[in-house]
Amino acid sequence: MITAIYLSHNRLDFVKHSFLPFMRECKSSLVKQAIIYDDNSTDGTSDFLMSHYYNLPLKFRYIREEFNSSWKQINSTYPIAEKYILKVDNDIVIPKDYVKYLFDVMEKDNSIGFAGLRTGNACYIGDSSLVGVRNIGGVGLFRTEEIRRLGGIREPLVKEEKRFFGFTDLQTRSNLKKVWVDGMAKDLSKVLKDKQMDYLNENWTR
């Protein structure tokens, strides 16, 4: 039913906290295949991912390649994907049982094409001024059939467009509904508080 993908490029501090929850969610029988995309990391992330990959079930695949953007990884995935694609960025600690939660939402309403996480907790390192409930673009469930119908994601004409929910192009061209599903997420900013300003300076905020 679901092809899960984990998108990673460096940020080993994030990966150490986000990868294990991703693997936990992929143990669900709903997840038929899981692809770990490593965009040629150079900070030890590749070694960390590989050390865990060797002990994973056969439904997991590890791909280390230079993509330079998540939209290319999605375009590599949808031709072989199951009914849904679960996308998880490496700065996201996905809530427990959230995969089933998103799946149930999508199964009950065929008019929904994209479902993302809405939470009052920060599950990525971001702007500390962001308070209250907000939408988190780093995790989402997408209807594969709709991605195929649209022919995948078109290459952004402006570099910054790559940062919007990962897939602004899909959302703007699709007529299916886009929803944000409430969920509880671990606050990664508390785990890595000392790293927050570094990533703010590197424009990792959304």
Reading the chain (206 residues) residue by residue, the pLDDT tens digits are 999 999 998 889 889 888 988 998 998 999 999 999 999 999 999 999 988 887 788 888 899 888 777 778 888 898 999 999 999 988 888 888 888 888 988 898 899 888 887 665 444 444 444 445 556 667 889 999 999 998 888 776 555 544 444 456 777 788 888 887 776 544 344 433 333 333 333 332 22
Q: Residue 193 gets which letter from DSSP?
A: G
Token digits for 154?
A: 């078109």
The helix or strand, by DSSP H or E, that contains position 63, with its residue range, turns out to be: strand 60-64
